[in-house]
Amino acid sequence: MGIAGWSLTPIGLVLLSLLVWRAGAARLLSLFPVFYFYIIYVLCGTVALTAIYLVRPRWYATGFWFHQLVCVLVEFGVLVEIADHMFRPFPAIRQFGRALVILISFTFALVYILPTILESHEPGSGLLDVAVRASVTKAVILAVLVFAAHRFSLKLGKNVAGLMMGFSVYLGVDIANYAAAESFGRALYANVLWIMKPTAYTLCLLVWTVALWELAPMPATDSVQPAGGGNSKALTLELARFNSALSRLLRQ
């Protein structure tokens, strides 16, 4: 089965192409460089893997799992980019959040990916376990970002909110699929997994295509105000103090 059978459908390929084309037309490439690098990588990788599958089938498995591994890592970079846009009004918090996500990603790679590559004699099985752990880790990071956005009523804008929503859909279905595979057995659930995963990714791409069709600048800094009724001023002051403290720490 080709790459489309795992993570992409023909509709997914069309949506990827639309995302790349529209990014140039709407001048979004410079706003979300990591995200569009990821999209272009997935699109080009899919084309390359399809050619490998047709011309050199015995190379396909190695190429496929390498492609999947790079995708897992780059997706962490997209989460960093989302956090950057979320905390744009608070530069020190933005740097702190970026460093935290990078640290989590590096720790994940060191603890989970390297041992799997060194020890596993069946790359497919080993990297499937890595994909499961990666999905859970990214879901946790995304949940923290969503909580922060809700807690402080951060005005994300259509583009950033759409990126987060698309990731939420994909990661949610992904984790549910892996959990079902563990419960019912991977061999028994395999046929369902090979249908649900590309379907979820196609839905994710559809959300991204709609959200990123037009440039929607982030709201002005002075529109960012925390939720919490009577505690709004206290929360604003707390966030500002934290940002100031981090600024001083980073300058040292």
Place of tokens 């990603």: 105
Q: Is 124 strand, coil or helix?
A: helix
Q: Do 120 and 58 contact (CB within 8 A), yes or no?
A: no
Q: Say if residue 201's pLDDT is above 80.
A: yes
Q: Say if residue 227's pLDDT is above 90.
A: no
Q: Do 101 and 79 contact (CB within 8 A), yes or no?
A: yes
Q: pLDDT: is 110 or 29 the higher one?
A: 29
Supply angle C-alpha 79, 203, 187, rounded to 5.
90
Mean pLDDT comparison of 6-10, 89-93, 100-104, highest-scoring range:
100-104
DSSP alpha helix (H) spans, 152-231: 157-184, 186-211
pLDDT for 241? 61
Distance between CA 180 and CA 115 in Å, rounded? Answer: 25
Distance between CA 156 and CA 174 in Å, rounded? Answer: 25
The interaxial angle of helices 91-108 and 123-151, nearest 10 deg, is 160
Q: Say if residue 196's pLDDT is above 80.
A: no
Q: pLDDT: is 244 or 250 the higher one?
A: 244
Task: State pLDDT tens for residues 132-162.
Answer: 778 888 888 888 888 877 777 777 888 999 9
Instruction: Give whole-number Cα distances, 178 to 143, 181, 190, 192, 227, in Å.
Output: 19, 5, 10, 11, 35
Mean pLDDT across the chain: 76
Q: Say if residue 167's pLDDT is above 60.
A: yes
